[in-house]
A = this chain, B = another copy of it.
Amino acid sequence: MTVQGYETAPWELRWHTLAIDQLERTESTFALSNGHIGIRGTLEEGEPRGKPGTYLNGFYKEHALPYAEAGYGYPEAGQTVVNVTDGKVIRLLVEDEPFDMRYGTATAHERWLDFRSGTLSRLTEWVSPTGRQVRVHTQRLVSFTQRAVVAIRYEVEPLDGDMQLVLQSDLLANEPIEPETKDPRVAAALQSPLVSEFALAEDYHAVLVHRTRNSGLRMAAAMDHQIESPHAFRSDIIVEEDLARLTVAVDVPKGDRLVVTKFLGYGWSAKRSIPALRAQVSAALAGARQTGWDGLLAEQRAFLDDFWETADIQLDGDPELQQATRFALFHILQAGARGESRAIPGKGLTGPGYDGHAFWDTESFVLPVLTYTVPEAARDALRWRHSTLPKARERAVQLGLRGAAFPWRSINGAECSAYWPAGTAAFHVSAAIADAVVRYLDATGDTEFERDVGTELLIETARLWMSLGHFDLHGKFRIDGVTGPDEYSAIADNNVYTNLMARRNLLAAAASCERVPEVAERLGADEPELGTWRQAAERMFVPYDEELGVHPQSEGFTEHAEWDFDNTPAEDYPLLLNVPYFDLYRKQVIKQADLVLALHLCGDRFTPEEKARNFAYYEARTVRDSSLSAGTQAVIAAEVGHLDLAYDYVGEAALTDLHDVHNNVREGLHMASLAGAWHGVVAGFGGMRDHNGEITFAPRLPEGLDRIEFRMCVRGNRFAVEIHRDRATYRLVAGEPVEITHHGQPCKVSEHPMSLSIPEIDPGPAPTQPPGRAPSRRHPERLRRHEF
């Protein structure tokens, strides 16, 4: 066991002991999801618990957003993900004692998430307060193959003699939840969001249908059970508005076991009737029972085998990072696999943080991972954006703009950000969507997607930029008064990242219009309009500080006061909780990679020398109060040759949630940070770039690792990149050969492994971080001692 309580292992995450005060965070790390349904890693018996949660992607409640001083265009309705009907509750009475780990004694207790089987298991040996001994073994999955299905296998075995067991299996709606903290980043939870519409229970199955109190959505949850018992048992099922409960009472002899398999079906809709939704979840259950527990397990394993063949990352020499990276990939898969035209929220479906909203994180950090590993998931997430185009167009009109203004945060596509300087003004979200479209198109050649979705997204985002910017007196195209990625700056002129991303957006839109002229014609994007896009792109203003030799993050940034890091005590971080926005905005202090993100995503617009100088400049001013930052810093640190620093940042990104770096994992995992681990390895150590659809590599191995191997899928062709100290080896795993470059040298990846040498790099002096804000150093020696 590491100090953090997780046992290091290559393919699983295992936690020993109960540790009640840690339940909230392990419920997040042990969450299961398929992108449609998410269930937190709560103990089956319901208590003790941290923050129970069962989520259906896209299912939200609405509340009025309050403003002490209102303003035109402020969103009026907020959306919050709903903790829906909880089906994972299975309570147990051992003789006449409730199985509750706060009482009695646990002689063994562990839980483990298996990245290959896609299951969460638990094994508990418990002595009741009256001294009876029992073993409880559970395993659960949220099926990747049967999207509406959750299944739980619950086994109880008497250890010290014959035993009467009573098991209660619930569907429980409107679960009371503790009030949230005052942290502005933590969303408020509303109580009892669901109104009962239908409830029925018969034999071993039950169904509850509810609607939200105020967002017009309807959901159904159903359960069915398969009971394996050595002896005759009595069962009883009851139903109320917010509760269905199957009770099974049985006498189990020592050496025998009671095994209950619980199948859950979930569904929701804004349109379907009560009978239709009820039928839908019943059908899901019928399918699940037909497949059976073993069948579901086998399907799950096959699905994951295929995933790991395309996506796995091997990091020899650092078992903790190896585990964390697979943990990251597993959770990214869980967040996106079966969303199917729903958003991928910032926390996936692992917790209620950020109200369950999706942000630009999805397109900027999560979708690149999916694009090169599970491209259908990237496609579906972009289809969700496309499905919200009417709302984005409406929002643009409301803001006096053209095209589509995508929301800063949302569940259903409508803007929910109540603080416009860090919401509405952060228009770069639309560029991130366009960029994700281009990346997906380049990586897949999916022409159907381009015709149906891609071109339209590109046209409407290009139009947004044209209405946001203007040509100045010297013909430069300026984009003023917007907010870039760094949330410690806002409403500034000519944010370099935003302008460069807008430039790319405009060029990509024009190119797509030429490829798919019928869509361009339908949307009225004619040649003169394309001409203005190209002109704006060509004349895009990118401020540069000649004197310092660096790019200001936004115009004027490098003239602002320096932050007084020396007099900022450690407890003042994160600064946003201890310093007013106004002070953050006007000084040279950076929450998260902004100009440095431009160095990554728009790296073709900077010389190597500019990258090195810019990185050093911003590194000294970036405090990483955001989990979005470390991955990007890893990428550029690696590019400019600071491989040890990159290694530290990869560690931070990958371990953000396992080490609870931001002390808020209880609210859910940081999907973008987990994705940052992939970026750090693939784009950082692998040097992978995809500018203009060309896949290029510049691999280098950091001191702390012995070998790296990562996988990618480009146009359906899977290949592996293996990095050694002096050489990299490329080999095709499946499909056709792929053209790449290695450190600038064009070559072809084929089934014959190709080894190419890695050139030397002199990175110069190491950059410094603000005092106390350097990333934790990864010490390979120490870590190896914990290896097993």
Contact = CB atoms under 8 A, between A and B. Distances in A.
Interface of A: 65-73, 78, 182, 184, 398-400, 417-421, 424-425, 469-470, 472-473, 478, 480-482, 490-491, 493, 547, 555-556, 559-562, 576-583, 585-587
Copies of this protein chain in the complex: 2
A585 B481 contact: yes
A69 B184 contact: yes
B547 A68 contact: no
Given A473-B547, A480-B560, A582 B67 contact: no
Contacts of A472: 559
Nearest to A469: B561
Contacts of A587: 480-481
A580 B490 contact: no
A291 B171 CA distance: 80
Given A72-B576, A419-B69, A425 B491 contact: no
A71 B559 contact: no
A72 B182 CA distance: 11
A626 to B, nearest CB: 15
A69 B418 contact: yes
A614 B36 CA distance: 60
Contact of A68 (B67, B182, B491, B577): B67
A394 to B, nearest CB: 14
Given A493-B556, A555-B556, A580 B72 contact: yes
B481 A400 contact: no
B72 A68 contact: no
14 contacts: A67-B67, A69-B418, A72-B579, A72-B580, A72-B581, A398-B580, A400-B583, A424-B582, A470-B562, A480-B587, A481-B560, A481-B583, A481-B585, A491-B491
Contact of A71 (B473, B481, B556, B581): B581
A78 B68 contact: yes
A417 B69 CA distance: 8
B559 A420 contact: no
A625 to B, nearest CB: 12
A478 B587 CA distance: 11
A576 B70 CA distance: 11
Please name the 3 residue pairs, one residue from A and one from B, whose CB atoms are nearest each other, closest first: A481-B586, A68-B418, A66-B66
Contacts of A182: 70
A418 B490 CA distance: 18
A184 B70 contact: yes
A504 B36 CA distance: 63
A578 B69 CA distance: 15
Contacts of A555: 556
A71 B183 CA distance: 9
A179 to B, nearest CB: 15
A470 B588 CA distance: 12
A556 B556 contact: yes
